Amino acid sequence: MTSRIFAFGAATLAAGLLFLAPSGNAESGTADMAAKLAKAANIDGKDIIAEKPGDWLSYGRNYHEQRFSPLTAINTGNAAKLGAVWEFRTNTVRGLEATPLVSDGVMFVTGSWSKVWALDAKTGKELWAYDPHVPGQWARYACCDVVNRGVALWKGGVFVGTLDGRLVKLDAKTGKPLWQVNTIDKSKPYTITGAPRVVKGLVLIGNGGAEYGVRGYLSAYDADTGKLAWRFYVVPGDPSKPQESKALEKALPTWKASEKFKWWELGGGGTPWDSIVYDPETDLIYLGTGNGSPWNRHMRSPGGGDNLYLSSIVALKPATGDLAWYYQETPGENWDYTATQSLVIADLKIDGKLRKVIMHAPKNGFFYVVDRTNGKLISAKPYTTVTWAKGIDPKTGRPIENPDARYGSSPTTLMPGPIGGHNWQPMAYNPETGLVYIPVIDGTFEFTGQKPLSYEKGAWNTGNDFAAMGRAILASIKAGNPPPPVKGYIRAWNPVTQTMAWQVPMTGAWNSGMLTTAGGLLFAGGSDGIFAAYDAKTGKKLWSEDLKTGIIAPAMTYTVDDQQYVAVAAGWGGSGGLGATGDMETALQKYRTNEGRIFAFKLGGTHQIAALPPVIPRGVPKPPDEKLDSAMVTKGFNLFHRNCAVCHGVLLLSSGEVPDLRAVPPEIWGQYDAIVLDGAMESNGMASFKDILNKNDVAAIRAYVLDEAHKLYKSEHPEAKKAENKK
């Protein structure tokens, strides 16, 4: 499968190069195109603030990141006439999370493996392509797929962060790198999936990796030279050494190590892997920080403490990166409750007064309205089912935790789970309806502290025992009380009254980000591949189309030649596309293919969206008949849940993006050492685990998977079960 897709990619790249150098008047055509590309990317802060209606110049459209477009040509009265006008095949099979940027008729968009394309926004034709050649091995450090959320544009440069931690400036004219810098310590499992933002000539980029053991920070690089201007570390380092900032000195007493567990050795976390917002009015950068590394505070900071600045909104001064204020939403973070979810800034009339606010729906389940001039809480209410806390104390801004929330080693059911009440999929705010549109997740999770707590370099380190959690789920299924399915909704939220205006239940839990427009519309897609326009006031569905793969990226809208278009990347993936939500009724299950495509729509569009040829075989092949040692199966169960379940699913139940290991072609059973130890499938993201697993471990994992494969085969083939019973 992989080689076919890759070969295909090379062919398309060649076609793209041909397009750049057509026969005939090649020279002038190329020069014209290069000039057009350079003009498109030649923007600065004034352009981003000025909000040219037909453009989308920064990740959340402008610095405020409302994902609200003033365009009205497509509206509630005519949305039913929408149709696809072009599609662009990315020739990748992993998740697509990017928001395309459009400037002067050129689209700049990224795909999985941090690839970048410039496209003609009117036709979808490729103008150039850039592949940073991320090593497949790095997929192991990406908790949540080899995704990328987009580029930034600034003065003729196109900026992208790569999964393996580089920041690259491309020449908008050609897609060739002008400079690239390594933003991470390559000996540590850092990743970049977020879109850079450019503020006052500085390119801002964060990082991820808190599930594996890293210390998070935001870096600012000079857009012209690539020189590091400043770095804001979210959590303190080794307390025996000087801290990098006054803010960290202040944070130090909120961390309490033990002889056995030192957070600066475990990582500490706080990785700011997504939301970065600049506010020209206050001249502050607002940053959403990540969860603790590891999640479990008993391990990360055994003496307790708030562990500043985990799971916080921090306000930074753009010139220096110094802290202006902070608001910690989840003190003493313990549940993977990142605060990296989209930050939206707006002016809201609250109690008769116009307030400058940040709106935020982080993973922890509460919708926050915060004064962005000083970080003081205005209000907070749950936007999904929350059981870990009873509410937020309006006086202190702190959660009122439920007594069982700080789980020990027995499984404790809490809501939301680590996937959050809302994940990275951006919400949108429509100033005309006064509503915020949130892709909400509603589900339980069995938090289960490891016993004993143990850290393993470069491995999945959360201080949670996923094997014990799997056993708890199996026991509850056996007792006839299985965990309820995780559900997904579009919720329209009134941020002033802190109440829900309306909701749309979705097929699965893991769905797209949001786009809203002055045409009174809301655009959103789902795991089932359905992309739809809704009335932003009422939630009434006005139009939909099946894009034939799951949609997680937010849509955007733009104009070319006075014609309004809506574009969206469709490619199932992310943590929910791997094992995290257990979404089963996905477009991927239906169409058996996940080649990512970018689609554009306009009124009267007639392009037919065809299902691509299936690449994932249907059915469950007969697994080899082998007698399995039950001790090996048990050992394999434990090893699988420590090392493999994050992608392949707890109890092997994945949401389809990576192969169901129980239903693999027969030859795979003979290749476990080659794949798991020698990296035979590294190029498609199945990395080598040679540094933490040995041959005996792999044999045990294989035994567990094979045992489950037999069970699945028997359930799919009742006649096989009968034959077995006769024996």
List the catalytic residue out of 55, 164, 279, 336: 336
Residue 240 structure tokens = 């025996």
| Minimum CB distance to Ca ion, residue 3 (Å) | 33
Distance CA(2)–CA(685), nearest Å, equals 10
Q: Which amino acid is at 623?
A: P
Residue 94 structure tokens = 């992993």
Burial 221-260 (b: 16+ CB within 10 A, else e): bebeebeebbebbbbbbebeeebbbebbeebeebbebeee
Indicate the residue among 274 and 442 with the shorter CB distance to Ca ion.
274
Indicate the residue among 86 and 366 with the shorter CB distance to Ca ion.
366
Q: β-pairing, 515-517 with 68-69?
A: parallel
Which residues sit at the interface with Ca ion, rule CB under 5 A? 291, 336
| Minimum CB distance to Ca ion, residue 338 (Å) | 5
Closest CA to 597 of 170, 129, 109: 109
Distance CA(625)–CA(640), nearest Å, equals 21
| Minimum CB distance to Ca ion, residue 95 (Å) | 16
Indicate the residue among 267 and 397 with the shorter CB distance to Ca ion.
267
Closest CA to 57 of 75, 33, 39, 73: 39
| Minimum CB distance to Ca ion, residue 84 (Å) | 35
Indicate the residue among 216 and 636 with the shorter CB distance to Ca ion.
216
| Chain position carrying tokens 């000079």 | 222
Strands (E), 93-156: 101-103, 106-110, 116-120, 126-130, 152-154
| Minimum CB distance to Ca ion, residue 216 (Å) | 10
Closest CA to 35 of 46, 24, 27: 27
| Minimum CB distance to Ca ion, residue 311 (Å) | 10
| Minimum CB distance to Ca ion, residue 104 (Å) | 37
| Minimum CB distance to Ca ion, residue 204 (Å) | 20
Q: How far apart are the first and last CA of the chain?
A: 38
Distance CA(116)–CA(276), nearest Å, equals 21
| Geometric angle at alpha carbon 95, from 605 and 444, rounded to 5° | 115
H helices of 179-338, in order, are: 246-251, 263-266, 297-300
Indicate the residue among 336 and 465 with the shorter CB distance to Ca ion.
336
Q: Residue 704: phi, psi to the nearest 5?
A: -65, -45
Indicate the residue among 68 and 263 with the shorter CB distance to Ca ion.
263
Residues ≥6 apart with Cβ < 8 Å to 310? 234, 235, 269, 270, 289, 290, 291, 292, 328, 330, 333
Number of neighbouring beta carbons within 10 Å of residue 111:
27
Q: Is 336 a residue of the active site?
A: yes
| Minimum CB distance to Ca ion, residue 414 (Å) | 15
Q: What is the chain's Cα-based Rg?
A: 25
Indicate the residue among 58 and 291 with the shorter CB distance to Ca ion.
291
Indicate the residue among 171 and 336 with the shorter CB distance to Ca ion.
336
Indicate the residue among 33 and 415 with the shorter CB distance to Ca ion.
415
Strands (E), 80-207: 82-89, 101-103, 106-110, 116-120, 126-130, 152-154, 157-161, 166-171, 177-182, 197-199, 202-205
Closest CA to 376 of 393, 397, 362: 397
Q: Cite the active site residues.
A: 336
